[in-house]
Amino acid sequence: MHTGLTQQQTNIINATVKKAFWLFEIDRNNDGTPDYYWSTQGRDWNSHTYAAKIMSFTPLTLTGGCPELGIIAPANISIQASFAGSNIGGVYASAFEGASITVRLIGSTSADGETELMSWRFIVVTAMSVDQILTLDCQDWFTLKLEGDYPNTPLVSELFPATIMKDDNVCAPVVFGTPFFPIRWITKSWTAYPGGPDYFTLGVSDGDQTALFAAGQFVLVDCGSDGLKSGWVDHSSFSGSPAYTHVYLTAASSDPLTANTNKAQTDHYVLGPAAPTYTIDRARTPARSTSRQLTRPRTTLSNRIR
């Protein structure tokens, strides 16, 4: 069953008789505009003319997730292209290292015409020219972004006071795309002292906690034998001599506080301190904790149909 395909793509894949050809777009400067359009034979596609430069290429092998070797196992391809004079307009083999190559698989039938079935992007890792043949050894772009072993960022529990954090293996994320700071929901209990039906104070040793008891903060107040009371902070202040944090609840509080008030509990989303960085420098991988041999699924796309 195929998903995410157009009707034309589905018809071509399901056809008993079909043709396929491969296109290679080389962006040597990585500026988003291909410098060369090559194929196994001269042809036009999508308003571009592809020169017959590709002599051969290895089967394109897609490897499934392989955590014992890293987060994702690499996909590779090696391409051999005609390289008369060992250069193209003064551009030599070494200039292709780091280039981006988009490989497109085009399928067609007589009834459905031609359409792109799949495409992949690779980065040239090594490039060399021997006997006027340019060999480009490529690896998928995503694997190159993940060079090294991951995750190796600090544990979130290392970035927060241990007394309020869970003992787990959550680590600070490495962000791809839109960044979000690593935050965690926590609860915090405070010793509270009675002040009135909608008012209590914290201990002098707690210092200024007005930022945590800001307007709109939900609070659970333990009133001992009178039970738990809940409410919303109207405002708070830090005043007196010595100074205390004074917390005032809204009139909409579910129950008035009593003289038995002894504890208040709040919840927050918190960030780690600004000093630590999240630079990748070490690894934690399953390979370090197991010697079990694992296998991984492999998909091979052959270059025999062109």
Q: pLDDT by residue for the chain (306 residues), tens digit each?
A: 566 778 888 888 888 888 888 999 999 988 989 999 999 989 998 899 999 999 999 988 776 666 655 556 678 899 999 998 888 888 999 999 999 999 999 998 888 888 888 889 999 999 999 999 999 999 888 777 766 666 677 777 777 655 555 566 777 766 667 766 666 667 788 899 998 889 899 988 888 989 888 888 888 899 998 888 888 899 999 988 888 899 999 865 557 888 999 999 887 666 555 444 444 444 444 444 343 443 444 544 544 444
Contact between 270 and 37 (Cβ < 8 Å): no
- Integer Cα distance of 243 and 202 in angstroms: 10
- Candidates 166, 164, 147, 144; CA nearest to 155 is 166
Q: Residue written as tokens 């979130």?
A: 156
Domain boundaries, the chain: 7-148+296-301, 156-271
- In the CATH hierarchy, which fold is given to the domain comprising 156-271? Elongation Factor Tu (Ef-tu); domain 3 (2.40.30)
d(CA 274, CA 232): 30
CA–CA dist 130, 83 (Å, integer): 9
Is the separation of the CB atoms in 25 and 36 below 8 Å? yes
